[in-house]
Structure 1
């Protein structure tokens, strides 16, 4: 996992003074202060890339450094532990993060972290404006006080496909020719995935105030194919039980909601690949746009449904 999240090409500091690294972090990643151990001479390393409105950072301090900050104010920090361990202290609680665990820090959360000597992290910095714009674009209701993640600790493996998405973002960030529009496209996908994969105070658009008709449910799916629509969420928005939703789909289309949504996503991708007027930079970008984070599974599902690979459809476009 960690080898795909920024390479040596993004190196800014290598075995450097931790205070110099901290000053750089204050400028680019988030305001904070550090406290070094009383003995020893830790050597810090840092890799960094700006990517549209995101910042990608890989950092190690080389010692048991304590990092504190009153609050991040206008940014969110997503921190993935790659090596070692990190002690997080919150209000009346604390947690030792192990490799593969993820910490989500809200803008109003105070920061109190202690790195182990061998600790290394990948940090994704997201501005509040990005998540707000995604909510507004999708017509999701967000509280006036701002978007807030309600749980701050996750196992990375719980967030299906998210590691692969971050790896693609890092690869795109390190590409020789940066394309601003493509970068912004990826940034929107990252923000959207976080809002749908994690628990937040955002309320997505409701289907109706009372039990929705099947046609209304299908129309909702059709207009939200780029979003992650799980069966539980669909049932909640349709004001019916999960069992009733499954029975509705079985009666009308002979399949499950999940399978139906996947079919419709694949059909939309196929339509785009075959339409010369539809701007498609590459198949990977289009697949990500419709939530297919596992590209191997996407290609196989596409082949099973249409009898050919996505590349075959694109070639016929002419």
Structure 2
């Protein structure tokens, strides 16, 4: 069976053990959750676990129809592969019965609600958010301001080309007698790159340094990262061009310096938000600080020059 290679008994931590003991260990190493057990019977749980660079690899079965719930995972992603049995997932007003060979992806801000069948066994890969950030940086992909989100949360493993073999290779490497930290780090980067290229995400994989680093690509990068601290040096580095070339590109396309262009786009975004009744704004100060305007007097002045009124007037008008 294709899953046989995803961790072997050499990684066994618990064998036919108390599910609450296994759950306690999982809370410590894999992600915070609550375990709801059936009232009757004495189920026996098993767990294999390995740390691998900044990843955690885990194979788990509870031996009973347990329900696992948790708030958002915060700074980690969970990739779960169903090996045996069934697992009911509930979320976003939907539910889905996962079958062997299916993969579930849980974003850091997704609550978790899973019900295992008695014979359910799954493989879990825990990925920290900072690893996705560093891979995007490394590949010069546009890292979204709100963080990476997987836009589709379930896949058939056999649709993801080469992915299961890569998982198996990582498990094998994790169980190797001699642990090689450098090799592990490379593998961790590869698996995350593979996830970002095979699965649907909000990451723009047009590298600013590729031949299509047109003004449009840079403008798109700015639009996606308006709340981040973007300066000309960062843009030039991302676009792999000199500062002088960057200034020339902005002069030709926008008639402004990169700094002024970014400020203008931030003001436009704030104006759109203040005008939009569905945009949640408590006050002008909050939205200005959100976009990096720390000096409120200067902000109001720039806003008035661009839109002919004070930001507070725009906000008042929409009520």
User: What TM-score do the two structures reach when normalised by structure 2?
Assistant: 0.65
Question: What does residue 120 of structure 1 align with?
Answer: 121
Question: What does residue 190 of structure 1 align with?
Answer: 191
Alignment deviations for residues 181-234 of structure 1 (CA, whole Å, 9 cap, x no partner):
00001000000000000000000225143899xxxxxxxxxxxxxxxxxxxxxx
Alignment deviations for residues 97-153 of structure 1 (CA, whole Å, 9 cap, x no partner):
000000000000000000000000000000000000000111111211101100000
Counterpart among 202, 209, 215 of residue 214 in structure 2: 209
Question: What does residue 28 of structure 1 align with?
Answer: 29
1:67-106 to 2 correspondences below 5 Å: 67-106=68-107
SS of the residue corresponding to residue 80 of structure 2 reads: strand
Question: What does residue 60 of structure 2 align with?
Answer: 59
Alignment deviations for residues 64-104 of structure 1 (CA, whole Å, 9 cap, x no partner):
00000011100000000000000000111000000000000
Query: What's the Cα RMSD here?
Result: 1.4
Question: What does residue 17 of structure 1 align with?
Answer: 18
State the alpha-carbon separation in 1 of the partners of residues 216 and 65 from structure 2: 56
Alignment deviations for residues 250-293 of structure 1 (CA, whole Å, 9 cap, x no partner):
xxxxxxxxxxxxxxxxxxxxxxxxxxxxxxxxxxxxxxxxxxxx
State the alpha-carbon separation in 2 of the partners of residues 208 and 102 from structure 1: 35
Q: Which has the larger radius of gyration?
A: 2
> Are the structure 2 counterparts of residues 211 and 28 from structure 1 closer, same or farther at C-alpha, using a change threshold of 3 Å?
closer
State the alpha-carbon separation in 1 of the partners of residues 213 and 187 from structure 2: 31
1:151-170 to 2 correspondences below 5 Å: 151-170=152-171
State the alpha-carbon separation in 2 of the partners of residues 136 and 188 from structure 1: 11
SS of the residue corresponding to residue 125 of structure 1 reads: strand
Question: What does residue 130 of structure 1 align with?
Answer: 131
Q: Is 1:145 matched up with 2:150? A: no
> Are the structure 2 counterparts of residues 203 and 10 from structure 1 closer, same or farther at C-alpha, using a change threshold of 3 Å?
same
Unaligned 5+ residue runs, structure 2?
A: 218-319
Question: Where does structure 1 differ by over 2 angstroms across 4 or more consecutive aligned residues?
Answer: 208-212
State the alpha-carbon separation in 1 of the partners of residues 105 and 178 from structure 2: 31
SS of the residue corresponding to residue 108 of structure 1 reads: coil
SS of the residue corresponding to residue 50 of structure 1 reads: strand
State the alpha-carbon separation in 1 of the partners of residues 90 and 152 from structure 2: 14
Question: What does residue 296 of structure 1 align with?
Answer: none
SS of the residue corresponding to residue 104 of structure 2 reads: strand
